[in-house]
Homo-oligomer: A and B are copies of this chain.
Amino acid sequence: MSSPSNIGILALELYIPTTYISQSDLEHYDKESKGKYTIGLGQTEMSCIGDREDINSISATVLLQLLEKHNICPSQIGRIEIGTETIQDKSKSTKTYLMSYLQNSYNIEGVTSYNACYGGVQALFNTVAWMESSSWDGKLGIVIASDIAVYEKGPARPTGGVGAIGILIGPNAPLVLDSLRTSYMEHAYDFYKPIPSSEYPVVDGHFSVNCYLKAVSQCFEDLKRKTGAMTLDALGDYWCFHAPYHKMTIKAFFQIASDDLSSRLPHFDAKDKQSWGIVNEYLKPLWNEKCEKATRLGKRVGNIYCGSLFMSLKSLLAFEDIEEVCEN
């Protein structure tokens, strides 16, 4: 098999249920102060699933969307990998379930990748590596990142959401994946589901926020070092973040922006509001240029865990001039 080049994203399909809750209605229903969810979390709506869909069906929906919209036969697919942390039962993989939609095609690798919201990203990395490997069979890869985020009554509930993303991976792609990357993984009891009979996670938002900001900060630091970029501005044309809720995205942006300014302006103090006032002129255009468009879908859908980062990419492609994104 000859080595493929320019491996990346050929197509990106999104599925969100048509039902949703207005966050301002939810504030009212929960008897919370006006603006707690809409301004405090930055969310405007939240997608909701009914009882006739589950993680298997929404994953199948994006798989079939990819096959039908892009005229792909099952026999052209050599690998399907699902990133999810939503479990229909405690053993059967969503990947096996999806095989029932691929009649007569049995030689399809890939499993369900399972690691908090990171499963979808690892599924993407694995699929691209498979295509670069000596075992590639010349076929296309599909990555599905899907989750149903349900929280029990309380502070985490308004950040729930549901969505599935299907990504078609192949050579000569308009969106090529760069081989340069860095990761940060740490053990924390920020989010887990220790009660087997309950769908609800135990969430400690404090740990989640800290762990995520530490990861974002360290990864940008590593990327600056690896690329030799002297300023944050020089590092990429657009930035897509995982978006558990909109304000978290802003926090992540401010974290790396303040890291960047601290490293260049010795008197910059991230805790001093006046310092922020002075540099606001620098930060606002940077946010608008690199981040804002990628956050629009997430504000309306909520956290979809594994698919969240890819929904940000979908949002960027939907609201930015697509040709410009692909050329950059």
**Chain A residues proximal to chain B, CB less than 8 Å:** 85, 87, 89-93, 95-100, 106-116, 118-119, 122, 125-126, 128-130, 132-135, 179-189, 191-198, 201, 215, 218, 222
The answer to whether B93 touches A114 (Cβ under 8 A) is yes
Interface centre among A108, A134, A184 (most CB of B within 10 A): A134
Q: Tell which of B182, B187, B198 touches A100, judged by Cβ atoms closer than 8 Å.
A: B187
Docked Cα-Cα span, A195 to B87, in Å, equals 11
Known: A132-B129, A132-B134. A108 touches B183 (CB 8 A): yes
For residue A305, which residue of chain B has the nearest CB? B91
B residues less than 8 Å from A91 (CB atoms): 85, 116, 191-193, 201
Docked Cα-Cα span, A216 to B126, in Å, equals 25
The answer to whether B114 touches A112 (Cβ under 8 A) is yes
B residues less than 8 Å from A87 (CB atoms): 87, 90
Docked Cα-Cα span, A183 to B137, in Å, equals 11
For residue A97, which residue of chain B has the nearest CB? B187
Docked Cα-Cα span, A265 to B116, in Å, equals 54
Docked Cα-Cα span, A106 to B216, in Å, equals 12
